[in-house]
Structure formats: C-alpha cells, structure tokens
C-alpha cells in the first residue's frame, strides 16, 4: 500500500519553548498563546472541569498539582489562570478543545475571581527565617496594584495597615491612651504627630511592634484572610478569590517537617483550601509542587482539603506522548485520512499496535511516532533526578529534533526509537549522565519498528 510521505501530512512547529515562567504565561499580551498552545488530554480536561465546576457553583476548594520537574505544572496554571481571569481578552476563542469550550465558556462568564498568582521560587528570606503569611500578604498587595489599582487605598492587607485602620476607626478610649503612652515613651510625640510625620504605614508598624493591638488585628490566619476577602468582595465586587501558587517545592525544601515554620505553612494552606471554603467563602487555591502533599492537607486521604491532581502519573501514561507531539507538530488539513491509512496498516502488520491496544485517537494524537518511543522517553525522564538523565523538557526537544530529519520526513514510516537516539539532545543527555540507556533490561542498539 502506498502512503503519502510524512512531510505532506504534518508540519513541524518552531522549536518549542519549554521553560516559561508563570508571570510570562499570565501576562494579558501572552494569554492567547498560553491557552492556544495548551493540550487538553482526557486527564487534563477532567482536571480543568473539576476546577471550573468550582467557578460555576461559586464553591471554594484546594487543588494540589504534583509532577516532576518539566512536566507542565506552570503551563497548567497559566492556561487555567488566563481562561478564568482574561475572559475579556477573548482567550476562550483560542481554546483548542471543543468540549471544554462548549461546556464552560458561557457558564463561567459570571465568575469574577480576584487573582493572586505567585511563584515561590527564590521567595522569602534566606535560611528559612521567613513567613508564608507575609509572602501571601505582599502578593495580595501586588495583585491589588496590578489588577485593581483603584482599591489600593481602600483594602487593608498587611498587619501595619490593619493596625493603622484599627487605631483610626476602632480603638476605644483606653486603648488610644495606651497607644499615646507608648509613642510618648518611645518617640516623644503623640500618635497623631508621628502618623503625620512618618505616614500611616510606619505608624501602623509601630503599633504592631508595641503589641498593644495584639488580638485586635485579626491575627489568626482565618480572620486575616476572611477580612481581606470581605473587603475585596464588597469594595471590588469580586465573586471570590483564586490563589495560584507555583514552585511550592522550593518553599517546602526550606521548611523541614516538624518545625514551627512547616506547621505554619500547613495551617495557612488548610485555612485557604478548607476552613474558609467550609464557611462558604469562595476561595480556590491551586498549589503546584514537585513535592508530596503534606499529610494534614490531604484530609486523611479523603481529599477534602486539597484534591490531588497528578500530572503524567502512571495512570495517565498516555498523556506524555500526546503532550510531547502536540508541542512538536501540527497535522495538515485533511491529514486524518492519511493517518487512518497508517493506523490500519500498522494494526494489521505489527504486533505493537494490537498487543498494546493502541486506539485510533491515541495513534492520531502521537502520529507520526511509534508508541514505543514514549515508553523509552518516559522511562528516561522519570529517572532524571536519580541518574542525572534528561528531563521531560529534554524529551520534547528530542522528539522535535527527530522530526527535523528531512530524510525521515520525505519517507513513509513512523518515527522509531532509533531516530530519537540519534538526536543531539539524546546524545548530549546520555553522555552527560554517564549512563547507558536500557529498555527491559537490554541495551538498546536499534529499533526499526518491525513486527516484534
């Protein structure tokens, strides 16, 4: 049977960008590209739906996105953020998954989250002497400045702001007398003089330092977040808040289990993901990390605090190939007829299609790669930390480089493992790791995709 050459069926994309930051992906000018270049596998589609259901029903919840380095956590967060926050930029018109677009475009039109996106990489102070609550406060202030500048003078977020507001609006006669005594003793001035000379922020910091307002400043995490939420929803008209937290592993590594800092981290995240939502505050918290979810946050395994969303996990093993190929090539118009011809021929002639029960949709999603290619790439990239082998991002480059072989594109066969092994990226990775690539206990010398 005569097949069309691969170059007539596929178009190779430009070299994939595999190291975007969250801040890059969520910029409004980049939102269209972020969403348009996102591949919704069946697993990822189900994850988006689960989070979108929270938006449709105005229900708070925590989600823990876990995967190894380079597995797409940041792109997941970026696409999700853009679809929820930049609706007025027309990002839903660029969604390449008809099912998601049809089911959630209109239902989410009334969702109006106040967004708090942040990456914890290199965040905080050195030596672990830092506070997650302080980081969240700073990021909320940053988000107000970026997304709702008209609220900057109205919404009180930090301890100093709350202390100043307490003194001006809520402090009683005896409390103000105590504050006056403190400022006279420490600064030889009245509270009003100090505030006029140094400003409200410095004044509030001094009250916090004095300890006179302790217990009055909504010092517990629950009260603090609830107060911020109340201000944003009432003053800003938001229907809820969404926290999008990337690179949490870098923070986890600094706070060892059993320490006070670790316990504070757990309490803060539990407050956002479970305590406040259980009190009907519409707060969605999405944390992405290479690290495991702390036991306390899993709700004893029931997922009532943080629902786990593992990326490229064993049960989602076909996702890897789909995502890699999606990053590397496009199917040309009318290509499905040719892909079906390849599928029917391979299913008839080669055992690997029948034995692995490769479906037509999956064969199409990874075309023109032989399915075994991704068994190899996944095995290598899952061992990157232990064996210093290539990462998932390197796997994308290997596939892309394989498709850059003009002789291959002019041919009429699937891409095989031997094509991947010959790429510069594979050779660099294997030599750099000092390892010999093995499959099933045997050294891989070649694979022609034959009947074995």
> Residue 388 above 80 pLDDT?
no
% of residues, the chain, pLDDT over 70: 87
Using a 10 angstrom Cβ sphere, with 0-12 exposed, 13-18 middle and 19 or more buried, the burial of residue 350 is middle
Tokens of 258: 């059993």
Alpha-carbon span 94 to 413, nearest angstrom: 32
List of residues 6+ apart from 362 with CB closer than 8 A = 318, 321, 322, 371
Q: HSE of 66 in the Cβ direction (CA atoms, 13 Å)? A: 16
**Mean pLDDT in the chain?**
86
Alpha-carbon span 71 to 443, nearest angstrom: 26
Tokens of 94: 């660029």
pLDDT range class, residue 77, cuts 50, 70, 90: very high
User: Where does 37-190 have alpha helices with state H?
Assistant: 42-56, 73-85, 98-104, 132-147, 159-165, 173-187
pLDDT in tens, 134-153: 889 889 999 999 999 999 98
What distances in angstroms separate CA 243 from CA 284, 285, 297, 303, one per listed residue? 6, 5, 16, 18
Highest mean pLDDT among 24-28, 167-171, 212-216, 441-445: 24-28
Superfamily for 38-153+221-312? P-loop containing nucleotide triphosphate hydrolases (3.40.50.300)
Q: Where in the chain is the domain with CATH 3.40.50.300?
A: 38-153+221-312
């Amino acid at each position: 049977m005569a097949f069309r050459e691969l170059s007539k069926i596929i178009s190779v994309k430009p070299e994939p960008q595999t190291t975007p930051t969250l801040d890059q992906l969520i910029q409004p000018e980049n939102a269209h590209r972020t969403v348009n270049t996102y591949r919704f596998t069946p697993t990822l589609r189900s994850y988006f739906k689960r989070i979108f259901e929270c938006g449709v029903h105005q229900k708070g919840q925590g989600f823990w996105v876990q995967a190894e380095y380079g597995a797409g956590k940041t792109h997941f967060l970026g696409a999700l953020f853009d679809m929820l926050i930049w609706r007025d930029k027309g990002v839903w018109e660029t969604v390449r998954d008809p099912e998601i677009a049809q089911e959630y475009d209109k239902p989410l039109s009334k969702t109006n989250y106040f967004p708090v996106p942040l990456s914890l990489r290199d965040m905080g102070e050195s030596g672990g002497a830092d506070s997650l609550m302080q980081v969240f406060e700073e990021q909320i202030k940053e988000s107000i400045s970026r997304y709702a500048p008209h609220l900057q003078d109205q919404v009180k977020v930090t301890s100093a702001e709350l202390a100043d507001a307490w003194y001006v609006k809520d402090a009683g006669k005896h409390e103000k007398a105590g504050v006056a005594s403190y400022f006279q003793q420490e600064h030889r001035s009245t509270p009003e003089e100090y505030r006029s000379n140094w400003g409200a922020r410095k004044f509030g910091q001094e009250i916090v330092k004095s300890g006179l307002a302790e217990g009055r400043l909504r010092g517990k995490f629950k009260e603090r977040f609830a107060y911020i939420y109340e201000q944003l929803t009432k003053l800003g008209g938001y229907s809820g808040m969404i926290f999008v937290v990337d690179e949490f592993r870098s923070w986890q590594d600094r706070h060892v289990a059993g320490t006070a800092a670790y316990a504070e981290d757990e309490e803060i995240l539990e407050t956002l993901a479970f305590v406040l939502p259980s009190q009907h505050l519409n707060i969605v918290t999405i944390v992405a990390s290479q690290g495991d979810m702390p036991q306390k946050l899993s709700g004893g395994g029931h997922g009532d605090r943080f629902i786990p969303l593992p990326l490229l996990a064993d049960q989602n093993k076909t996702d890897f190939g789909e995502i890699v190929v999606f990053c590397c090539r496009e199917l040309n118009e009318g290509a499905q007829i040719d892909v079906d011809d390849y599928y029917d021929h391979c299913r008839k002639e080669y055992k690997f299609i029948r034995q692995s029960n490769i479906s037509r949709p999956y064969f199409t999603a990874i075309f023109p790669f032989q399915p075994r290619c991704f068994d190899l790439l996944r095995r290598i990239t899952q061992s990157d930390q232990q064996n210093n082998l290539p990462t998932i991002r390197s796997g994308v480059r290997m596939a892309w480089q394989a498709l850059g072989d003009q002789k291959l594109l002019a041919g009429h066969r699937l891409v095989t493992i031997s094509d991947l092994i010959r790429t510069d990226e594979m050779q660099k990775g294997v030599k750099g790791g000092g390892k010999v690539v093995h499959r099933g206990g045997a050294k891989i010398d070649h694979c022609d995709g034959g009947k074995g």
